[in-house]
Chain A
C-alpha cells in the first residue's frame, strides 16, 4: 500500500486510522479531565456562534429562544475543537505546501463557469439548507458519521446513509450535464 498520495497527502487509510486513535484518545481525555464524555462533532458550534451574533442585535430574543437555551450559547469544548480544525488544516497545508487560494473549485467551474458570485451563492444557500438539516437530524458527518457510527448508534448509521444517499442524488442532478 502507498502511504503517500499523488497530491502529496497521506493515504486516506492511514490518516483515517490515525483519526480513529485521536477519537479514542479524545473520548478518554474528556472523560478523565472534564468528567464528561465528549465525542467529536461540529454542527452544534454553528448554533452557538449564531447565538453570539444574534445576541448583539436581539439579546432578549436569544435569551428567550428555546433552542439557544437548550444548546447553551457559550464557548465550550466543541467550539474550540472547531477553531482547532481551522488551525490544524492551516499548519498542515502550509508545511506541506498544499495551501492554495481557491475561490471557484474546478468541478463547479466546469458546470457553472468562473463566476465567484455564483459559487458564493451556491455555498451560502447550500450552507443554509445543510445546517438546517444537520440540526434537525441532531448531527453532521462528524457527530453522526464518525462518532455515531463508532458507537453503533442506530441514528448515526441511518443518518450517514441518508447524507451520502441524498448527496449522491443531488450531485448527479447538479454536476452532470445532460446529454443533448
Chain B
C-alpha cells in the first residue's frame, strides 16, 4: 500500500472509533435527531466543528495549508442537499456512518450501502445531462462565509462558538 492509503486507513480507523464511541452511527440516533428527540449527533458534529475550525483556520493563517472550499454551485447544493435529506431520513445512515454501522453489527446497513452504490452509478450515468442543466445554473465558486461577509474568519469562529455553546445549554436544559 502507498503512504496515502496507509494514512487514509489509520485516520479512518480513528474516525470510525470515535463515531462509534460517540454512539452516532446507528439508525436510532440519526432518526431521533431528525425527530428532535435525541440530539446526540448534532452535539457530536458541532463539537468536532468547533475544535476543527480553530486548528484549520490557524493552519490556513500560517500558510501551512490552503483551504479547499467546495464550489458554491447554487442549484447543485440546494437541490442535491434537499434530495440527500429526503433519502437520509428513510435510510437512517450517512454515507460515512453506514460502514461504521455495519462494523457495529447493524447489518441492515448493507442494504443502504448497496443502494448508495446504485445511486452513485445512476448519478455518473446522468452526469452529462446534469452538467448542462442543474449544475450550470449558477456557480459562485469556492467561497467562504468570511469572503461573503467581508469580515475576519475569526469573528465568525467566535460567533460560531458562542452560538453553539448557547445551543448546547438549551439542548441540555430540554434533555434532548
A residues within 8 Å of B by Cβ? 5, 7, 9-10, 12-31, 33-34, 37, 39-43, 45-47, 49-51, 53-54, 65-68, 75-93, 96, 98-108, 116, 119-146, 148-172, 174-176
Contact = CB atoms under 8 A, between A and B. Distances in A.
What band does the interface of chain B fall in when counting residues whose beta carbon is under 8 Å from A? 35 or more
11 contacts: A9-B20, A12-B44, A17-B48, A23-B55, A84-B8, A88-B16, A100-B104, A107-B27, A123-B115, A133-B81, A136-B79
Contacts of B19: 15, 19, 85, 88-89
Closest 3 CB pairs of A and B: A84-B12, A127-B115, A88-B16
B9 interface: yes
Q: Is the interface of B mostly helix, strand, loop or mixed?
A: helix
A47 to B, nearest CB: 5
Contacts of A126: 87-92, 112, 115
Contact of B71 (A67, A102, A155): A155
A128 B80 contact: no
B103 A140 contact: no
Given A42-B95, A127-B118, A170-B88, 7 more contacts: A12-B41, A39-B68, A65-B124, A66-B131, A93-B104, A166-B83, A166-B84
B57 to A, nearest CB: 8
Contact of A88 (B1, B20, B117): B20
Contact of B124 (A31, A40, A47, A151): A47
A33 B77 CA distance: 32
Contact of A140 (B43, B96, B144): B96
A31 B62 CA distance: 14
Interface of B: 1, 3-28, 31-36, 40-53, 55-57, 59-60, 64-73, 76-109, 111-125, 127-128, 130-131, 134-135, 140, 142-146, 148, 153, 156-157, 168
Contacts of A166: 81-86, 88-89
Contacts of B50: 17, 20
A155 B72 CA distance: 5
Given A46-B95, A128-B119, A152-B144, A16 B70 contact: no
Given A66-B127, A87-B16, A136-B79, A82 B96 contact: yes
